[in-house]
Structure 1
Amino acid sequence: MGRHIVCLTFDHDHLSGFIARGLTSPTAVSRGEYDMVVIPRLVALLARYDIKATFFTPGHTIDSSPQAVMPYVETGHELAHHGWTHRLPVTLSREEEEEEIVRGNDSIRRVSGRYARGYRSPAWDLSPHSIELLLKHGIQYDSSLMGHDYDCYYARQGDVVELKEPFVRGRETPLIEMPISWSLDDFPHFEYMRNPNGSIQAGLMNANAVLENFVDDFTYMTEVCPDFGILTYTFHPHVIGRGHRMMMLERLIKRLAAGGAAFMTMEQAMGEWLARRQAAAKAAD
């Protein structure tokens, strides 16, 4: 029987995502603060099924509301890097991006006792400098790219992308990419947003319909990757925390467990992926 790993991940943005969009009214702030109600419920749900998850948490969240972060830090979940603000790296200068990485890592170390091993870009949009800077500051894996569905790979640096020229791939780096997908993220499915530019994100999808999509992605992994695969789901506490969605999340956990899923943190899954690669390389020698 194959080994099929599931990583449940939570982007604990708190207020930072709204502030980065220029949404600072009392209503916007309250939407972010709702996660303080949800976090204890999430931690209890994960404990009920003996699951360790990964929380990608901006430094702004940690420094603004450490009481919202400590429930999952103290119960052994992985605390990973999600910037300090929730600004997209691609919108920042190299110096600004490095400041985000350093400041966010300092916030993580203060509450967890160690620097982050993993990173996820706010809104999943890396800059040309991101991979270099992440490696410089000791990050071992990234979870912002979408070049695979059920396998990790090594992130590239130095791609040449020009409109009227063939695409040229850069060199592989030691940074392990643990890919994600918007289709496995709760935010576009569920969150209703009226953005400052006037655009509307409708959200508010039926949770049971989304559940079927989420389960089918796991089932498909077991069929096309019978020996080994890793599947990552992304949730946001203030989004998944509504009652009917929490019930959906629990149903998801039950159905994945019944299908043979092994739940791990991202760091644990990375370790297993590396061990398998090393064993395969040794066997080939």
Structure 2
Amino acid sequence: MPRHIACLSFDFDTWSGFAARGMTTPTPVSRGEFGVVGAGRILDLLGSRGIRSSWYVPGVVIETYPEACERILAGGHELGHHGWSHVPPADLSAEREAEEFGRAVESIRRLSGQGPAGYRSPAWDLSERTLGLVLEHGCRYDSSMMGHDCQPYFARRGDRVAADAPLVFGEATDLVEVPISWSLDDHPHFEFFRSGGAVTPGLANADAVLGNWIADFEYMRRSTEWGMLVYTFHPYVIGRGHRMLMLEKLIDRLGRMGAVFLTLDQVQQEFRERVAPGQT
């Protein structure tokens, strides 16, 4: 029987993503703080539709806004690992990456009473060490890579990559990769950035983006018997009024198309029941 899954995921970064880029003056900090307002709106909407979702929260945000994070858990949503700071692992030394990874695990454990099931790297940029840390700390899945659009797979580590040589594949792990895409992320579509001499325009028409996102789900329905799509949102982005209306339309349209809404942890469990390691 066909089964098509929609995962609603939220990177609750607030000000941490700006701080990781050196943007620590009052205006970018306040821009990130709006994420707490947006998170409340999102949780109200999800609650009204009876939908569980996955939230990825840096440790510094958990420690800054514990009440907001407690509300995520109280709503039955998944709390995932999103680093301690929002500095990408690829930009950290081995020692600092390991220290920050463990520190974030402890923040999640103190808040929720258990370690995270899944990991999502800040800015979706892993180091060659990251998957080892994910496995070492008992996570069951990662959601930072883009090797498929609608099928999970078992992540590899230890690939050897050079610009002037064929790719040498590393070992398959028991870590399920629940893939993501920038095209299904609200940030590049909507956020305006000006940094130095570079400008990222963003500010797209929400209905045009909605059309793309619905079309991706429709293509998955036509091309697969079992598939999943991960939509990624940032509360300080999607929480603006016209985008909240778009999110509401997305949820309701997907529901009419037969979407099953699951957390990413539920997806990785279902995937493991369908295949054995090494099959994909």
Q: Shared topology, TM-score over 0.5? A: yes
Could you tell which deviates more after superposition, 157-166 or 77-86?
A: 157-166
Q: CA deviation at 1:118?
A: 0.3
Pairing of 1:111-150 with structure 2 (within 5 A): 111-150=111-150
Aligned position for 2:158:
158
Aligned position for 1:252:
250
Within the candidate set 237, 240, 244, 1:239 is matched to 237
Aligned position for 2:83:
83
Quick check: 1:172 aligned with 2:172? yes
Q: Deviations 1:69-108 (Å, cap 9, x if unpaired)?
A: 1211111100000000000101111111111210111111
Tell me, which stretches of 5 or more residues in structure 1 are unaligned? none
Pairing of 1:1-285 with structure 2 (within 5 A): 1-195=1-195, 197-225=196-224, 227-277=225-275
The percent of aligned pairs where both chains have the same amino acid is 52
Asked if the contact 1:39–1:71 (Cα under 8 Å) also holds between the matched residues in 2, the reply is no
SS in 2 for 1:161: strand
**In 1, Cα distance between equivalents of 2:173 and 2:275:** 16
Q: CA deviation at 1:67?
A: 2.0
**In 1, Cα distance between equivalents of 2:262 and 2:197:** 39
**In 2, Cα distance between equivalents of 1:207 and 1:165:** 42
SS in 2 for 1:138: coil
Q: Number of residue pairs matched?
A: 277
Q: CA deviation at 1:40?
A: 1.6
Q: CA deviation at 1:171?
A: 1.1
**In 2, Cα distance between equivalents of 1:239 and 1:87:** 19
SS in 2 for 1:116: coil
**In 1, Cα distance between equivalents of 2:199 and 2:100:** 29
**In 2, Cα distance between equivalents of 1:90 and 1:123:** 10
**In 1, Cα distance between equivalents of 2:197 and 2:81:** 30
- Letter matched to residue 220 of structure 2: M
Q: CA deviation at 1:199?
A: 1.4
Q: Deviations 1:42-87 (Å, cap 9, x if unpaired)?
A: 1110011110000000001000111221211111100000000000
**In 2, Cα distance between equivalents of 1:199 and 1:110:** 40
SS in 2 for 1:166: strand
TM-score (norm 2): 0.97
Q: CA deviation at 1:168?
A: 0.7
Asked if the contact 1:4–1:228 (Cα under 8 Å) also holds between the matched residues in 2, the reply is yes
**In 2, Cα distance between equivalents of 1:2 and 1:108:** 35
**In 2, Cα distance between equivalents of 1:6 and 1:100:** 31
TM-score (norm 1): 0.95
- Letter matched to residue 130 of structure 1: T
Asked if the contact 1:8–1:232 (Cα under 8 Å) also holds between the matched residues in 2, the reply is yes
Q: Deviations 1:112-166 (Å, cap 9, x if unpaired)?
A: 1111010000000110101111101111100000000111111111111112211
Asked if the contact 1:158–1:169 (Cα under 8 Å) also holds between the matched residues in 2, the reply is yes
**In 2, Cα distance between equivalents of 1:234 and 1:44:** 18
SS in 2 for 1:35: helix
**In 2, Cα distance between equivalents of 1:140 and 1:111:** 19
Displaced runs of 4 or more, over 4 A? none
SS in 2 for 1:33: helix
Q: CA deviation at 1:257?
A: 0.4
- Letter matched to residue 53 of structure 1: S
